[in-house]
Amino acid sequence: MNSHRIMSAFPPAEDQQVTLANWRQHPFSTWAFRNVRELLPTANIAHSPEPTTLSFGQRYLEDVVFAGRSGETTNFSEALRTSHTDGIVVMHRGQVVSEWYANGLAPDTPHLIFSVSKSIAGTLGGILAECSKLDPDAPVTRYIPEMERSVYGGSCTVRHLLDMSVGIRFDEDYMARDGDVINYRRSTGWEPPDAGVPSSHLRQYLQTLRPNGTPHGQTFHYVSTNTDVLGWVYERACGMSYAKILSQYLWQPMGAQHDAYITADSRGAARVAGGICATLRDLARFGEMMRNHGVSNGRQVVPAWWIDDIRRNGNAEAWSRGDLTKVFPNGNYRSKWYTIDRSQSAFAAVGIHGQWIYIDPANATVIARVSSQPLPMDLDFDHMWLRGYRAIATRLHEDA
């Protein structure tokens, strides 16, 4: 089907209609990922009244060469057009040097960023810790006593949530048609209800999760529900909704130009783990702030010590025992951010279907990319783009 025909008529033909049942499937996703607000309830994340000014200086990068998806030689221009990329912004030394949009996306259009949302949540944790709203070493139940009988009770701490080291029984299989991920998505409102399954909302569902017998802190185990619990912790710590916390403590202080928004369940609980929709330029602003040790527009928004901790710490042994070593064999994970290779400085926020914020401090480069890749996880595309990001950063550094 031609993706340009999807949702183009009023009303759309049946086979061109995006619904709750097909919105994450290609080609419907090319429309859905930039129109989430027409499909799901959302909460607004207000922008700054004084946005951080972006400067622009176009650089020719289309001929940057790197190994493609199957090992063949490709270049930046070709990769953009053959990888379901919806948009990309490249910054070097604080200046936008390349910007590209496709599939109806525009500079002022929010796009679903999936688990890049987690890195935003992890960054927010440092701000709340700095202002004594949050103790990362405290047990989860200090903030949410209702979690005592779940996997998040007992010795489970906020730090375990931040670092994905909860010993939880959960299989995060995005391609499954039943089981943990489907039940979780139903609780968030991301899946149509099933008449044969009792209805549940997100906070209710989180309380049903159980341990797998592994001690907390020992193994990196990527489970999205940990981040939703983290968002609930923030709400209890601050006494306000997650969307308002994010706007007040991060989105406005960093100088976001546009409102973002986040999906919410039937009770208003935010999908902290993967529900944020934001514009590419604001994602680039966020990445540039992280590259600059938490400073945006001359203001220290995120404490520098928190960013140092993200880049220098993390448990390499826990990572090596974890479930994403095929993605980053020598990687690490701290406060919802990936260290791509412990021997290098680059770190990243990554979401399924091809969402990235790639930050290379050594080469003063930030790359924000959004996509509607058909598969949730496609390592060939991910590794191709990782090679591409490195090649672009190298070109910019060498030509500076």
What is the rounded distance in angstroms from the CA atom of residue 172 to the CA atom of residue 182?
10
Give the chain's count of helices (H) and strands (E): 13, 16
Where b means 16+ CB within 10 Å and e means fewer, 268-301 reads: ebbbbbbbbbbbbbbbbbbbbbbbbbbbbeeeeb
Contact between 86 and 370 (Cβ < 8 Å): yes
200 is catalytic: no
| Catalytic site residue from 3, 48, 98, 115 | 115
Sign of the C-alpha dihedral, residues 257, 244, 305, 393?
negative
Q: Which amino acid is present at 111?
A: H
Beta bridge partners of 357: 349, 368
What is the rounded distance in angstroms from the CA atom of residue 276 to the CA atom of residue 260?
7
Furthest CA-CA distance within the chain = 61
Residues in contact with 156: Cβ distance below 8 Å, sequence separation at least 6, in sequence order: 139, 140, 141, 147, 166, 216
- Residue 303, sorted as left (phi over 0), alpha (psi -120 to 50) or beta, turns out to be beta
Contact between 117 and 272 (Cβ < 8 Å): yes
Where b means 16+ CB within 10 Å and e means fewer, 73-90 reads: ebbbeebbeebbbbbbbb
Listed residue (237, 249, 246) closest to 270, CA to CA: 246
Q: What are phi and psi of 32, to 5 degrees?
A: -65, -40
What is the rounded distance in angstroms from the CA atom of residue 40 to the CA atom of residue 88?
25
Helix, strand, coil share of the chain (percent; to 5): 35, 20, 50
Ranges of H-type helices in the chain: 29-32, 76-82, 116-130, 140-143, 158-162, 180-188, 202-206, 225-238, 242-246, 280-291, 304-312, 316-320, 379-399
- The catalytic residues are 115
